[in-house]
């Protein structure tokens, strides 16, 4: 795996950030995932939770049980084995998407903005493979890399107040899927019938960091059939509403 300067940063009195460089790229992310997987596989008392992000891992610990020095020593040892160890490969996940129409109201805009036809947008978007760098913003929302440059499109000037769960969007250089209904400023090009987050399922999250995602275009009819078969509730999603809200940059 790649070598690079590793920084340890204090995140309060219960957190340690291990930072692997300052780039968003699959190689840096593999280093984050390597350490994350070591922590998950080798639980030690006082190490409570770890949160992988693009180029860093936040490790949360209980200082009453585990000292920062002991935690750092453990992390150092894990990182020494970095070259020899096998990183568990990411799962490949196919996500059906019905593009355009009322489920993807911004497809035309994305096409026009990039000088493409809507069919070309669909073709490009569904032929790429995307790496899930991390989940965040809302439960199960994947932050993904790998969007073809021809599809880069600025966010909405005024975010919508309500974007239905399952909406597939483009925000700048990123693409993502809204996991629950909520405000959002990304351009919505389609919707998946799959639920990215369902706390009632044995496995509540469809995706995890490190997964490789591919979108599979489906017709409206197939979309409706999938909604009925897999998740009856999903088809009740309300239509998009326009409005301004978020002051912070968010999907």
Partner 1 sequence: MKLAFKVLKSSLLTSVQDLGRFGYQQFGVPVSGAMDSFALRLGNLLVENPPDAAGLEITLAGPDLLVCTDLVLAFTGGDLQPQIDGEPAPLWQSLRVSVNSVVSFGHRVRGARAYLTVAGGLRVPPVLGSMSTDLRTPLGGYEGRPLRKGDALEMGSPAVALSELLGRKVRVEALWEYARPHELRVVLGPQDDCFPPESLQKFLTESFTIAPQSNRQGYRLEGPEILSHPGAELISDAIPLGAVQVPSGGKPILLLADRQSVGGYPKIAVVISSDLHKAAQLATGDEIRFLPVSLEEAHRLLRQQEETLAHALTS
Strands 174-177 and 167-171: antiparallel
Q: Which of 165, 171, 173, 176 is nearest to 187 (CA)?
A: 171
Q: Is 101 in the site for partner 1 (CB under 8 A)?
A: no
CA distances from 191 to 15, 88, 177 (A): 37, 30, 8
Q: Is 113 in the site for partner 1 (CB under 8 A)?
A: no
Out of 37, 38, 56, 167, the residue judged to bind partner 1 by CB under 8 A: 56
Q: Is 22 in the site for partner 1 (CB under 8 A)?
A: yes
DSSP letter assigned to residue 25? S
- Minimum distance between the CB of residue 120 and partner 1, rounded to whole angstroms? 30
- Minimum distance between the CB of residue 201 and partner 1, rounded to whole angstroms? 11
Q: Is 58 in the site for partner 1 (CB under 8 A)?
A: yes
Q: Which of 106, 108, 88 is nearest to 34 (CA)?
A: 88
Determine the size of the site formed for partner 1 (CB under 8 A): 44
Residues 222-241 that bind partner 1 (CB under 8 A): none
- Long-range contacts (CB closer than 8 Å, 24 or more residues apart) made by 242-249: 242/158, 242/160, 242/161, 243/158, 243/159, 243/160, 243/161, 244/158, 244/159, 245/159, 245/161, 245/183, 246/159, 246/183, 246/185
Out of 26, 46, 139, 145, the residue judged to bind partner 1 by CB under 8 A: 139
Q: Helix, strand, coil proportions of the chain in percent (round to 5)?
A: 25, 30, 45
Site string for partner 1, 25-44 (x = CB under 8 A): -----------x--------
Nearer CB in complex with partner 1: 139/148? 139
* Options 73-81, 86-94, 133-141, 238-246: segment touching partner 1 (CB under 8 A): 133-141
- Contact residues: partner 1, CB under 8 A: 9-15, 17, 22, 24, 36, 48-56, 58, 60, 63-64, 68, 134-141, 143, 179-180, 197, 199, 204-205, 208-209, 248-249
């Amino acid at each position: 795996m790649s070598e690079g300067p590793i920084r340890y940063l204090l995140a309060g009195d219960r957190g340690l950030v291990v930072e692997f460089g300052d780039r968003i790229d699959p190689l840096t992310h593999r280093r984050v995932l390597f350490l994350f997987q070591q922590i998950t596989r080798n639980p030690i008392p006082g190490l409570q939770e770890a949160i992988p992000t693009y180029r860093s891992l936040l490790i949360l610990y209980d200082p009453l049980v585990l000292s920062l020095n002991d935690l750092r020593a453990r992390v150092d040892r894990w990182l020494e084995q970095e070259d020899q160890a096998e990183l568990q490969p990411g799962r490949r996940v196919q996500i059906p998407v019905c593009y355009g129409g009322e489920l993807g109201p911004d497809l035309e805009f994305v096409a026009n903005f990039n000088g493409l036809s809507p069919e070309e947008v669909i073709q490009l978007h569904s032929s790429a493979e995307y790496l899930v760098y991390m989940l965040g913003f809302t439960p199960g929302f994947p932050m993904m890399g790998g969007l073809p440059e021809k599809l880069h499109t600025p966010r909405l000037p005024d975010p919508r107040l309500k974007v239905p769960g399952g909406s597939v969007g483009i925000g700048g250089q990123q693409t993502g899927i809204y996991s629950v209904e909520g405000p959002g400023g990304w351009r919505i090009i389609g919707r998946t019938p799959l639920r990215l987050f369902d706390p009632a399922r044995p496995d509540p999250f469809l995706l995890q960091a490190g997964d490789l995602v591919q979108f599979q275009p489906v017709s409206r009819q197939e979309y409706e059939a999938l909604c009925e078969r897999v998740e009856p509730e999903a088809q009740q999603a309300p239509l998009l509403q326009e409005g301004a809200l978020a002051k912070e940059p968010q999907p």
